[in-house]
Chains A and B, each alone.
Chain A
Amino acid sequence: KNEVEQSPQNLTAQEGEFITINCSYSVGISALHWLQQHPGGGIVSLFMLSSGKKKHGRLIATINIQEKHSSLHITASHPRDSAVYICAVARGGSQGNLIFGKGTKLSVKP
């Protein structure tokens, strides 16, 4: 079983819809990251959070440490939000690496 699971794997939405992408993990963590990978391949860091909730524009990220779960919400979705969204966790108590989910591919239709 993967240590980081994302759902859904693929998501198609109509412009303007509210979107939720979920991330569940099975290890203790010190931080969780949400990344966006554009169709051209570039990767952008959206959020890093260790508790609670963060908001940036139309994007909101929440984390529940007890339930080992995080969600990324997009309000008023737009075709330019079409991308792959990747969840990654920093395993607590160890050096170095992030553990990445396989990503959620979002397509927003006009």
Chain B
Amino acid sequence: DAGITQSPRHKVTETGTPVTLRCHQTENHRYMYWYRQDPGHGLRLIHYSYGVKDTDKGEVSDGYSVSRSKTEDFLLTLESATSSQTSVYFCAISAQGRDYGYTFGSGTRLTVV
């Protein structure tokens, strides 16, 4: 009954390869977010979506792209993975945006070697 699931939970990939992370929700929430979490930093926004096919960049969007073709799915793609993209990635959803409650996924630990 999580309402939001991320896949995969863990991934190891090689430098230069493309990687796609998936966020799936069953709550029909309008807003979906991708964050990365690194030691010494707070959560940082990569991209977010405010509706199907409506996305915008966050503060650390370089090297990442997103797509949202259905309400329930928000995909994060690393076009050509680099070691600096080794991180824990969290997806979050919100019914009405940043002034309302958020629900977070369990996270994806990505290691780029």
Which A residues contact B (CB, under 8 angstroms)? 2, 4, 30-31, 33, 35, 41-45, 48, 50, 86, 88, 90, 95-103
In addition to A30-B99, A99-B42, 7 A-B residue pairs with Cβ atoms within 8 Å of each other are A31-B99, A43-B92, A43-B107, A45-B103, A45-B104, A98-B102, A100-B43
Closest to A50 in B: B99
Closest to B57 in A: A96
Interface of B is mostly: loop
**B residues less than 8 Å from A88 (CB atoms):** 42-43
Complex CA distance for A95 and B98, rounded to whole angstroms? 8
Which of the residues B43, B45, B90 comes within 8 Å of A96, measured between beta carbons? B45
**B residues less than 8 Å from A100 (CB atoms):** 42-44
Which B residues contact A (CB, under 8 angstroms)? 33, 40-45, 48, 56, 58-59, 88, 90, 92, 98-104, 106-107
| Interface pair B58/A97, CB less than 8 Å apart | yes
**Number of inter-chain CB pairs below 8 Å:** 60
Interface of A is mostly: strand
Min CB–CB distance A2 → chain B (angstroms) = 8
What are the nearest 8 A-B pairs in CB distance?
A: A100-B42, A43-B104, A90-B98, A100-B43, A31-B99, A97-B45, A102-B42, A41-B107
| Interface pair B42/A101, CB less than 8 Å apart | yes
Complex CA distance for A60 and B66, rounded to whole angstroms? 37
**B residues less than 8 Å from A42 (CB atoms):** 104, 106-107
**A residues less than 8 Å from B92 (CB atoms):** 43
